[in-house]
């Protein structure tokens, strides 16, 4: 089902005209109402009237998460708080939350765009849609919630966690659609098997998955285990939340809601524009947001755009699935983990050496996070209780920083290979990625990550 054919199937020339008109409006809106954007545009010597074509978007300054963080909570807003009807926050790429806001109009647009994404995936009135994204400050649960309601499907706002309850509701209600991260879908299938649930006989027929990369292998495994068709959708809180793009039934990339968002793909190193089909960093400009317009937001997600007509009839450009990021985030059991957070904890620990290794492995369909830590000789005593106490105290400190239990392994000084930023893949299944020049995020192997904490030469 195409939710809004007028816009989703618009002729591209007319669409680009609409985009230009909206880009000009957004640029003026941001310049006139946001102290932050006015300062940045003055610095760059560019005025709203300089935007005469869509290519002129490149004259505008780039924005990134650090801008949102520095002006947090409300410094980038272009509306006073009495016109902001909701705020959310995102963990951002460094783990420090950034706050985003929505006007009444923004919420309405967001609902329209998530309705489009859900409809493109195949959600219909009559579907029972079980939400397994968290409700709370993150945009995951709320975003698709309203879009699914708007379509006329029945939403089951179960939220994240409580797997047993998810399974029993799926059985009792006859849930037809699951909305979650791909790794949670697999975890759910595994837990169901353990609990003696006949998972393939559940009524699930469709999955809307997002929030983390999903390999083809993982997708096939989810489809086989849960007996559903898996679809991918994309969004990020800093721009809006879910609703930026989603797969249609052709499963040939994610249609981007271009009437509300202008996308560029740039070389991550130079920020120079790349042609259609070339993979680079996705940069997004919102075209209709009122409370928090974002101009040229660097997403750190790597993708390529394809404007070729799609068999579904939509004319909206398709972005390839995001499988890699330019930054450093690891996703472990659906929780964003940043090596910088781990590093900060370890740096405080007396007896820890400046070398550690993060190993993420998949055990029983759940990511297992292990931190191998080099310690001073004084810590490696023969007194077992002392070592265990040390190990536990490191694990406790990590847990309070990450919100996630990691297993801690202590190793002798020099035991961790010195290869900063190098990734090494071994057998198994995990989601992770590497530091340095060649970041890669995948669901197809264990990634070991070696870092020099405080390089002492």
Residues in contact with Zn ion by CB under 5 A are 248, 250, 310, 312, 314
Q: How far is the CB of 316 from Zn ion (least distance, A)?
A: 8
Q: How far is the CB of 45 from Zn ion (least distance, A)?
A: 40
What is the token pair recorded at 304? 């390529």
Rounded (10°) angle between helices 216-226 and 182-194: 40
CB atoms within 10 A of CB 153: 20
Residue among 310 and 352 whose Cβ is closer to Zn ion: 310
Residue among 312 and 401 whose Cβ is closer to Zn ion: 312
**Nearest-angstrom CA–CA distance, 322 and 232:** 10
Q: Which residue has the tokens 């990369």?
A: 213
Q: How far is the CB of 178 from Zn ion (least distance, A)?
A: 22
Residue among 67 and 121 whose Cβ is closer to Zn ion: 121
Longest Cα–Cα distance of the chain, Å, equals 75
Do 120 and 248 touch, CB atoms closer than 8 A?
yes
Residue among 14 and 308 whose Cβ is closer to Zn ion: 308
**Nearest-angstrom CA–CA distance, 59 and 45:** 9
**Nearest-angstrom CA–CA distance, 233 and 123:** 13
Q: How far is the CB of 250 from Zn ion (least distance, A)?
A: 5
Do 311 and 299 touch, CB atoms closer than 8 A?
no
Q: Where are the alpha helices (DSSP H) in 304-403?
A: 339-347, 384-402
Q: How far is the CB of 302 from Zn ion (least distance, A)?
A: 21
Residue among 144 and 248 whose Cβ is closer to Zn ion: 248
Residue among 160 and 248 whose Cβ is closer to Zn ion: 248
What is the token pair recorded at 234? 């994309």
Q: How far is the CB of 263 from Zn ion (least distance, A)?
A: 16
Q: How far is the CB of 230 from Zn ion (least distance, A)?
A: 16
Residues 86, 91, 97: CA angle, nearest 5 degrees? 70
Residue among 79 and 248 whose Cβ is closer to Zn ion: 248
């Amino acid at each position: 089902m195409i939710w809004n054919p007028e816009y989703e199937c618009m002729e591209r020339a007319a669409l680009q005209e609409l985009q230009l008109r909206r880009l000009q409006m957004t640029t003026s809106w941001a310049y006139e109402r946001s102290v932050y954007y006015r300062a940045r545009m003055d610095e760059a010597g560019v005025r709203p009237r300089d935007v005469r074509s869509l290519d002129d978007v490149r004259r505008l300054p780039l924005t990134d998460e650090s801008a949102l963080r520095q002006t947090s909570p409300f410094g980038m807003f272009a509306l006073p708080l009495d016109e902001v009807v909701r705020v959310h926050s995102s963990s951002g790429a460094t783990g420090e939350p950034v706050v985003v806001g929505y006007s009444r109009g923004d919420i309405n647009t967001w609902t329209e765009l998530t309705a489009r994404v859900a409809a493109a995936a195949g959600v219909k009135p009559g579907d029972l849609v079980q939400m397994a994204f968290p409700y709370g400050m993150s945009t995951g649960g709320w975003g698709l919630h309203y879009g699914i309601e708007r379509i006329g499907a029945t939403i089951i706002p179960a939220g994240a966690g409580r797997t047993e309850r998810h399974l029993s509701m799926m059985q009792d209600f006859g849930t037809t659609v699951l909305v979650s991260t791909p790794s949670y879908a697999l975890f759910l299938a595994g837990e169901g098997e353990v609990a003696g649930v006949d998972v393939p006989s559940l009524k699930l027929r469709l999955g809307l998955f997002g929030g983390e990369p999903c390999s083809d292998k993982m997708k096939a495994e989810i489809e086989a285990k849960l007996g559903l068709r898996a679809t991918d959708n994309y969004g990020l809180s800093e721009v809006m939340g879910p609703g930026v793009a989603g797969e249609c039934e052709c499963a040939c990339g994610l249609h981007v809601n271009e009437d509300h968002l202008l996308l560029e793909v740039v070389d991550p190193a130079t920020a120079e524009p790349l042609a259609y089909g070339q993979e680079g960093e996705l940069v997004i400009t919102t075209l209709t947001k009122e409370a928090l317009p974002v101009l040229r937001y660097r997403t750190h997600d790597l993708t390529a755009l394809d404007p070729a007509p799609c068999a579904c009839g939509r004319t909206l450009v398709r972005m390839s699935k995001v499988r890699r990021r330019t930054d450093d985030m690891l996703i472990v059991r659906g929780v964003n983990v940043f090596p910088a957070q781990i590093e900060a904890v370890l740096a405080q620990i007396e007896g820890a050496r400046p070398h550690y290794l993060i190993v993420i492995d998949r055990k029983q369909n759940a990511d297992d996070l292990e931190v191998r830590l080099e310690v001073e000789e004084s810590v490696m005593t023969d007194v077992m209780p002392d070592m265990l106490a040390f190990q536990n105290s490191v694990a406790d400190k990590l847990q309070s920083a990450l919100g996630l239990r990691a297993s801690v392994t202590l190793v002798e000084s020099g035991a961790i290979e010195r290869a900063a930023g190098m990734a090494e893949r071994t057998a198994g299944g995990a989601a992770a990625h590497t530091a340095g020049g060649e970041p890669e995020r995948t669901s197809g192997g264990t990634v070991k990550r070696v870092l020099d904490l405080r390089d002492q030469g």
